[in-house]
Chains A and B, each alone.
Chain A
Amino acid sequence: MKDSINKLTELDRRNFLTGAAASTLGVSILPGIAGAAESQVITPASHATAKNVIFLYMSGGMTHVDTFDPKTTSGISGPSQPVSTNADGVQISNLLPELAKQADKFAVVRSMTTRTGDHGGGNYLMHTGFARRPGVSHPQIGSWAQYFLGRRSKLVPDSVVVGGGNPGPGFFRPDHSPLPIGDPNRGIKDLLPKINKTQFERRLKYAETFRESFAKGFPHDEVKSYADFYEETVKLFDSKTTELFDINKEPASVKTLYGNSRFARGLLLARRLVQNDVRYVEVQLGGWDGQHGNAGTAANRTNAMDAPIAALLQDLSSQGMLDDTMVVLTTEFGRTPKINGRGGRDHFPKAFSIMMAGGGVQGGKVIGKTDAAASNIETESYEPKDLHTTVAYALGLPVEKRIHAMGGRPFFVGNRGKVIKEAFGSA
Chain B
Amino acid sequence: MSLRLFSVLGLISLLSLPMVSGRTWINSSGQPIKGSFIDLSSGVVKIRLDDTNKVVSVPLKVLSKADQEFVGKRAMTGKADLVALAVKRIDAAIDAGLEKKNLKYNEGLNDHMYLRRVYLDIAGRIPDYDEAKEFLNSRKKNKRQELVIKLLKSWDYASHNYNHLAELLRIQTTFPGTILRNDAFIHWLKEQIDTNTPWDELVREIVMAEGRIWDNPAVGYHLRDNGMKLDHVAFMGKVFLGTDITCAQCHDDPDGEWTQYQYYEFSAYLADLETKGKAQQAKMPKKKDLEAYIATSQKLDPGNEEQKRRINNIVGNYQRALRDMSRASELRVHTVANRSMRLPDNYQYEDGFPRDKVEPWILFGKEKGSTAAALNPRQRLAAWLTSPKNERFAMNIANRMWARYMGRGAAEPIHNIDPEKSLNADLLKVLAEEMVSLNFDLKAFAWAIVNTKAYNRLATRKEVNITDPYYFPGPLLRRMTSEQVWDSLITLMVEDPNQFKLDSGKRYNQLINSSQSAGAPKDFVARVDEFNKFKPEQSLVNAAGVSILKAKPPKGEKPFGQTALSKKPTGPTDEEMMMAFMEAARKRKLLLARASELPQPSDPAHFLSKFGQSDRTFVINASSLKGSVPQVMELMNGYATEILTQPGSRIFLEMKNLRSNFEKADVAFISILSRRAVGSEQHLLDRELRSGGPEVFSDLIWALLNTPEFLFIK
Contact = CB atoms under 8 A, between A and B. Distances in A.
Given A193-B637, A233-B633, A211 B708 contact: yes
B629 interface: yes
A16 interface: no
A258 to B, nearest CB: 26
Given A199-B699, A226-B708, A407-B620, A177 B630 contact: yes
Give the most central of A137, A173, A210, A221: most B CB within 10 Å: A210
Contact of A179 (B609, B612, B629, B678): B629
Interface stretch (A44-52, A76-84, A201-209): A201-209
A214 B413 contact: no
B630 A225 contact: no
Nearest to B669: A210
A406 interface: yes
A241 B625 CA distance: 28
Contacts of A211: 707-709
Contact of B617 (A137, A202, A203, A407): A137
B617 A222 contact: no
Interface string A168-181: 10010111010110
B463 A221 contact: yes
B529 interface: no
B538 interface: no
Contact of A213 (B479, B678, B702): B678
Contacts of B678: 213
B617 A134 contact: yes
Contacts of B679: 213
Contacts of A212: 680
B628 A206 contact: no
A96 to B, nearest CB: 32
A407 B479 contact: no
B621 A233 contact: no
Given A202-B699, A222-B479, A135 B707 contact: no
A207 B704 CA distance: 6
Contact of B621 (A167, A179, A222, A406): A406
A252 to B, nearest CB: 31
B629 A218 contact: no
Contact of B619 (A135, A207, A223, A229): A135
B604 A191 contact: no
A141 interface: no
Contacts of B459: 218
Given A203-B706, A210-B681, A217-B461, A407 B231 contact: no
A227 B706 CA distance: 10
Contact of B626 (A171, A191, A215, A225): A225
B580 interface: no
A230 B637 CA distance: 12
A214 B708 contact: yes
Contact of B477 (A167, A220, A233): A220
Interface string B693-714: 0010001101110111101101
Contacts of B630: 166, 174, 177, 179-180
B453 interface: no
A207 B688 CA distance: 13
A296 interface: no
A232 interface: yes
B621 A174 contact: no
B688 to A, nearest CB: 7
Given A135-B246, A192-B637, A206-B688, A225 B231 contact: no
A251 interface: no
Give the most central of B413, B479, B629, B714: most A CB within 10 Å: B629
Contacts of A213: 678-679, 681, 709
Nearest to B246: A135
B11 interface: no
A212 B708 CA distance: 10
A168 B617 CA distance: 14
B604 A210 contact: no
B167 interface: no
B604 A233 contact: no
A165 B604 contact: yes
Interface in B592-619: 604-605, 609-610, 612, 615, 617-619
Contact of B714 (A157, A193, A209, A217): A217
Give the most central of A34, A134, A207, A212: most B CB within 10 Å: A134
A206 B610 CA distance: 25
Contact of B632 (A137, A165, A229): A229
B642 interface: yes
Contacts of A233: 629, 632-633, 636
A8 interface: no
Contacts of B624: 174
Interface in B213-245: 225, 228, 231, 234-235, 244
A219 interface: yes
B618 A136 contact: yes
A194 interface: yes
A383 to B, nearest CB: 20
B706 A230 contact: yes
Given A135-B618, A230-B632, A210 B703 contact: yes
B684 interface: yes
Contacts of B479: 222
Nearest to B621: A406
B631 interface: yes
Contact of B463 (A165, A177, A180, A219): A219
A209 B680 contact: yes
A196 B272 CA distance: 65
Contacts of B477: 218, 220, 222-223
Contact of B413 (A179, A192, A219, A407): A407
A236 interface: yes
Contacts of B632: 226, 229-230, 232-233
B627 interface: yes
A222 B477 CA distance: 9
Interface in A124-152: 134-137
A173 B633 contact: no
A406 B618 contact: yes
A167 B604 contact: yes
A228 B679 CA distance: 25
A214 B695 contact: no
A108 to B, nearest CB: 32
Give the most central of A167, A179, A211: most B CB within 10 Å: A211
Contacts of A173: 626
Give the most central of A194, A209, A228, A236: most B CB within 10 Å: A209
Given A134-B170, A206-B700, A213-B679, A175 B617 contact: no
Contacts of B463: 219-222
Contacts of A193: 636-637
Contacts of A168: 604, 609, 615
A218 B637 contact: no
Contacts of A134: 170, 225, 228, 231, 235, 617-618
Contacts of A179: 629-630
Can you list the 7 inter-chain pairs with the closest CB atoms, starting with the nearest? A206-B703, A174-B628, A135-B618, A166-B604, A214-B709, A207-B703, A211-B707
6 contacts: A135-B234, A168-B609, A193-B636, A210-B709, A228-B627, A233-B632
Given A134-B618, A135-B231, A406-B620, 19 more contacts: A134-B228, A134-B231, A135-B246, A165-B605, A166-B604, A166-B605, A171-B621, A179-B630, A191-B633, A203-B702, A204-B703, A206-B688, A209-B681, A210-B703, A218-B459, A218-B477, A233-B632, A233-B633, A236-B633
Interface of B: 170, 225, 228, 231, 234-235, 244, 246, 413, 415-416, 459, 461, 463, 477, 479, 604-605, 609-610, 612, 615, 617-621, 624-633, 636-637, 642, 678-681, 684, 688, 695, 699-700, 702-704, 706-709, 711-712, 714
Interface of A: 34, 134-137, 157, 165-168, 171, 173-175, 177, 179-180, 191-194, 199, 202-204, 206-207, 209-215, 217-223, 225-230, 232-233, 236, 406-407
